[in-house]
Structure 1
Amino acid sequence: MIIGVISDTHMPRSANRLPSAVIEVFGGVDLILHLGDWVTMDVYEQLAALAPVEGIAGNNDPGEIIDRFGHRKILTLENYKVGLVHGHTPFAGRTTEEKAQLSFKDDDLDVILFGHSHQPLLKQVNGVLLFNPGSAADKRREARYSVGLLELRENGIEAKHIFYDSKE
């Protein structure tokens, strides 16, 4: 199973539509996971034209998105437990990565996916894959925009970032 992972689209402030690079990369995926800060349901509609979409809400999302997706969830995909959280709450004084980990401290997961920082991250901690795709259209201090691909196979999980230079 190949999953497109996206976060922090901040549309329409950051862009009016999904970047063409995202449309190209997600064109053949089985599922798309959005990790919050969609800002409008229009982002959902654009992604749903490419593949089935699931996700969670972030700190910039309105009630409509919060009600539909919630702030935290665990999905079982291809026998892997995948945690989704934006990473903005509830642990004051912690980094986004630490907040994401603490959000699932009592859960047995294979992967934790999170956003919020707009900073791409890929690493293993205590046997759990931590993955932040970065931001698809609001790179802030990063050199490039980014999304992720997560491949779930019988023999393991592979994650990688896809970097691109234009949000057009």
Structure 2
Amino acid sequence: MKMIVISDTHMPNRGQEFPPVLIKELKSADLIIHAGDWNTIDVYEKLKGFGRVEGVYGNTDQQEILETFPKKMVLNAEGYSIGVVHGDGKGKTTEKRALEAFDERPDIIIFGHSHIPYARYSQGTLLFNPGSATDKRKQPYYSFGIIEIESEIKSQHIFYKSKSG
């Protein structure tokens, strides 16, 4: 199973279209996961054209997104549990808030909010932030993630300098 993981697209403010490198990967996705801050329902509508989309709302999303998606969720894929949460809040780090969002620890926790690509294990759980495909802020590159599940979990970030490249 191939999952494309994105967050913090902030569209249309930070881009009108998805970058070509992301579009290429979306075409081969079994599942697309968005970890919040879509901003408008149009992002969801565009993603649906590529396949199944799951996600959560973030702290900058419009009402229509809040009515369509939960604050957090747990998915099951190939026998693994995947928690998804945006990660916003007060105090603590984004990673700590993401970890504490789930009573039972899933195999993978996908989060966003910080726009900082992140992948590490904590007590057997993969913590994964894809960064942002359209709003890199102070990061040197735009990014999104690919998580593949077969007999094991494989994750990677895709980095690129230009949204048009």
TM-score range, shorter chain: over 0.9
Given candidates 136, 146, 159, the residue that maps to 1:163 is 159
Given candidates 117, 120, 125, the residue that maps to 1:120 is 117
**Does the CA-based 8 Å contact 1:18-1:46 persist in structure 2?**
no
Secondary structure, counterpart of 2:47 in structure 1:
helix
2:147 is aligned with what amino acid?
A: L
- Map 1:57-76 to 2 at 5 A: 57-76=57-76
Given candidates 93, 96, 101, the residue that maps to 2:94 is 96
1:49 Cα deviation after fit: 1.1
| TM-score, L = length of structure 2 | 0.97
**Does the CA-based 8 Å contact 1:57-1:71 persist in structure 2?**
yes
- Map 1:11-22 to 2 at 5 A: 11-22=11-22
What does the per-residue CA deviation read over 1:124-164, in whole Å, with 9 as the maximum and x for residues that have no partner?
Answer: 000000000000100001000000000011x2101100011
CA distance in 2, matches of 1:134, 1:43: 17
1:108 is aligned with what amino acid?
A: R
Matched-pair identity in %: 48
Q: In the comparison of the two structures, how many residue pairs are matched? A: 164
Matched, 1:140 2:119: no
Secondary structure, counterpart of 2:162 in structure 1:
coil
Secondary structure, counterpart of 2:10 in structure 1:
coil
Q: Point out where structure 2 has 5 or more consecutive residues left out of the alignment.
A: none
Q: Point out where structure 1 has 5 or more consecutive residues left out of the alignment.
A: none
CA distance in 2, matches of 1:164, 1:43: 20
RMSD of aligned Cα (Å)? 0.9
| TM-score, L = length of structure 1 | 0.95
1:108 Cα deviation after fit: 3.1
1:75 Cα deviation after fit: 0.7
Secondary structure, counterpart of 2:83 in structure 1:
strand
1:50 Cα deviation after fit: 1.2
1:159 is aligned with what amino acid?
A: S
What does the per-residue CA deviation read over 1:48-106, in whole Å, with 9 as the maximum and x for residues that have no partner?
Answer: 111211100000001211111111001111111100000003xx3211111100111x2
CA distance in 1, matches of 2:46, 2:22: 11
CA distance in 1, matches of 2:115, 2:44: 19
**Does the CA-based 8 Å contact 1:18-1:43 persist in structure 2?**
no
Structure 1 stretches of 4+ with a deviation exceeding 2 A read: none
What does the per-residue CA deviation read over 1:8-44, in whole Å, with 9 as the maximum and x for residues that have no partner?
Answer: 0000000011111110122101010000000011111
